[in-house]
Amino acid sequence: MARIVGGITTSHIPAIGNAMMEGKENEPYWKRFFGGYEPVKEWLADVDPDIAIVVYNDHGLNFFLDKVPTFALGCADEYHNADEGWGMNMQASFEGDAEFSWHLAESIIGQDFDLCTCQEMLVDHGFIVPMALMWRHLPDWPVKGIPFAVNTVQHPVPSARRCLALGHALRKAIESYPEDKKVVILGTGGMSHQLQGERAGFIDVDFDMQCMDSVISDPEWLAGLSTTEIIEKAGTEGVEIIMWLVMRGALSPDVRLVHKHYHLPISNTAAGVLVLENAPAA
């Protein structure tokens, strides 16, 4: 059966993509940030996953404010970059796995989650930047990518607890797939940041540290916070941290911390990186 090798948390800030395209990785502003991903690349090379499920939020590319699904799963064999003006200038598409995606959809919907299933789906920096951070140094994408969009833009957004529960459903779906596939899950977004209003530029380091520790060993703590509480502590865009819980919910209760890194600021945003290795299924 398919199995989850682990999970990774990462920012998907568009400025990161621009820095990669412009070759700024070793400039003083960026060097420490990109250095935090070297152990991630090493771990990925070691576990060698077949599929990457990228949990991210769409930024108006597929879903504008008049129609925003709470959860949307890509069910295509190919995904194209269409992040004009924000994203990385790359033409290479991303190979998907429609058969695997439809299995996920059937299982997750069967567990009482209502998904929007997308047989055509464009991807923006929320998906592209994480993929590039992990594998852009290689000549070709070594994994099939599956976009899994969570609404963190148009309120009401799903609760932290709902996202953790979605992760539990995702794990069951993956582990019921009959073929031998190794899957890594990327929980993207965050950490604390606010891009507008009186609190523009707001960052709360202490809360970010609490969130990272919670995702590692006590996801129930973060899942117990309301959307309002998260926004108060992390800023309006900091609510993206709920997508980390989808990843964490898909892993085993006890995980092995492989790598932890925190950096700020990158484009007025705090960025946290975790690599959590999953325990084998019982």
Catalytic residues: 125, 193
Helix, coil or strand: residue 19: helix
Find all residues with CB under 8 Å of 43, minimum gap 6, and list them.
6, 258, 259, 275, 277
In the DSSP assignment, the letter for residue 27 is S
Helix (H, G, I), strand (E, B) or coil at 184: strand
Which residue type is seen at 162? R
The span from the CA of 81 to the CA of 102, in Å, is: 22
Tokens representing 110?
């069967």
DSSP secondary-structure letter at 238?
G
CB-based burial, 28-62: b 16+ in 10 Å, e otherwise? eebeebbebbeebeebbeeeebbbbbbbbbbbebb
List C-alpha distances in Å: 180 to 49, 108, 176, 177, 231.
11, 19, 11, 8, 40
Q: Which of 83, 146, 80 has the alpha carbon at shortest distance from 117?
A: 146
The H or E element containing residue 164 is helix 160-175
Query: Angle 90-102-281 (CA atoms, 0-180°, nearest 5)?
Result: 100
Other Cβ atoms less than 10 A from the Cβ of 90: the count is: 16
